[in-house]
């Protein structure tokens, strides 16, 4: 089992920045690919970014490419999502997820999820 706890969400004006953190409980965190997903009210959960466990290769949704950066610190069992140039359409609950089988944009391939942290971007 891997327990994930997100933090860092909040209310920010358009154009602002936030950094989300996701702390993992398991010491083998470094062997899991990690992903960030988001879900707005009435919409399906969508892929935001992912990072591999080995070489730290990163993947992004087109909607956040160039604005968001995913990174990980295996020594701290933590993955981050640095969000800049935020837009009102980025408003959603953000979830981190862990996948022992590799990076993927498909949320159904991630067996472990955090409880989510709300990000609200005002115009």
pLDDT digits 0-9 by tens, 86-97:
999 999 999 999
Query: What pLDDT digit, counting tens, does each position of 9-34 carry?
Result: 999 999 999 999 999 987 667 789 99
- pLDDT on residue 84: 98
DSSP calls for the chain: ---EEEE--EEEETT--EEEEEEE--GGGGGSEEEEEEE-TTS--EEEEEE-SSS--EEE-TTTTTTEEEEEEGGGTEEEEEE-S--GGG-EEEEEEEETT---S-GGG--EE---EEEEEE-
């Amino acid at each position: 089992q891997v327990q994930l706890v997100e933090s860092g969400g909040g209310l920010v004006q358009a154009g602002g920045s936030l950094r989300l953190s996701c702390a993992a409980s398991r010491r083998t965190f470094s062997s899991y690919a990690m992903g960030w997903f988001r879900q707005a009210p009435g919409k399906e959960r969508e892929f935001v970014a992912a990072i591999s466990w080995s070489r730290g290769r990163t993947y992004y949704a087109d909607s956040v490419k160039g604005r968001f950066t995913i990174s990980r610190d295996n020594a701290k069992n933590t993955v981050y999502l640095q969000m800049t140039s935020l837009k009102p359409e980025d408003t959603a609950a953000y979830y981190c997820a862990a996948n022992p089988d590799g990076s993927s944009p498909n949320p159904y391939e991630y067996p472990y999820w955090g409880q989510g942290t709300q990000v609200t971007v005002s115009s």
